[in-house]
């Protein structure tokens, strides 16, 4: 039985690297895959260690089940891999579940669990609720503890306490911290 997988972590834990490695493993064995990432982030799927791959882009309006099944009819797919899965809508997560259940194509989703305010993203909440398999990757806080939170910082590296849930950025905008250091960083000076 194909499964819906959700691999989640804070920033800089290697989610995209893990996705690209899984994709490579399928393709190395001659199996076709379909990669997806959020259109809000204009970059290809890329890892901090320098590997990347082009991907289809999803928006909130994208019918993933239809797009995947159309592609599967042309070239049988061994797996569907989704980066930035936190940006999926709940309906899109259910579409991915349908792909796994009805088309028997494994779906591997990778993304953040929470935003810079410690709140679940819609896609992450739906995946945590219905995924067949949950995997947490480990990032490390500066203190050595497991980093589970994503602190947003401004250009001067000061913590950002308010703003839109989504702001695209990397090491220049986010710092992975353990919960204790996240709370301490957001405490008013």
**What's the distance, CA 167 to chain centroid?**
14
The kind and range of the H/E element at 151 are strand 149-152
Q: Decide: 173 and 152 in contact? Cβ < 8 Å.
A: yes
Q: Decide: 106 and 2 in contact? Cβ < 8 Å.
A: yes
CA-angle at 152, arms to 147 and 157, nearest 5° = 105
- How far is 182 from 186, CA to CA, in rounded Å? 6
Catalytic residue among 28, 61, 84, 167: 84
State yes or no: is 84 an active-site residue. yes
- How far is 68 from 9, CA to CA, in rounded Å? 26
Q: Which residues are catalytic?
A: 84
């Amino acid at each position: 039985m194909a499964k819906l997988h959700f691999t989640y972590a804070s920033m800089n834990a290697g989610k995209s690297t893990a996705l690209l490695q899984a994709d490579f493993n399928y393709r190395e064995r001659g199996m076709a895959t379909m990669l997806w990432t959020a259109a809000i982030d204009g970059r290809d799927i890329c890892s901090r260690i320098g590997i990347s791959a082009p991907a289809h882009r999803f928006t909130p309006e994208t019918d993933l089940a239809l797009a995947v099944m159309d592609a599967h009819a042309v070239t049988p797919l061994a797996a569907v891999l989704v980066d930035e899965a936190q940006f999926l809508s709940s309906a899109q997560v259910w579409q991915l579940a349908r792909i796994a259940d009805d088309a028997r194509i494994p779906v591997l989703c990778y993304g953040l669990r929470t935003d810079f305010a410690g709140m679940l993203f819609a896609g992450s909440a739906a995946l945590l609720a219905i995924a067949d398999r949950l995997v947490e990757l480990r990032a490390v806080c500066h203190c050595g503890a497991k980093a589970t939170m994503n602190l947003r910082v401004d250009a001067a590296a000061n913590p950002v306490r308010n703003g839109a849930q989504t702001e695209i950025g990397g090491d220049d905008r986010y710092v992975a911290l353990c919960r204790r250091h996240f709370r301490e960083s957001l405490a008013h000076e």
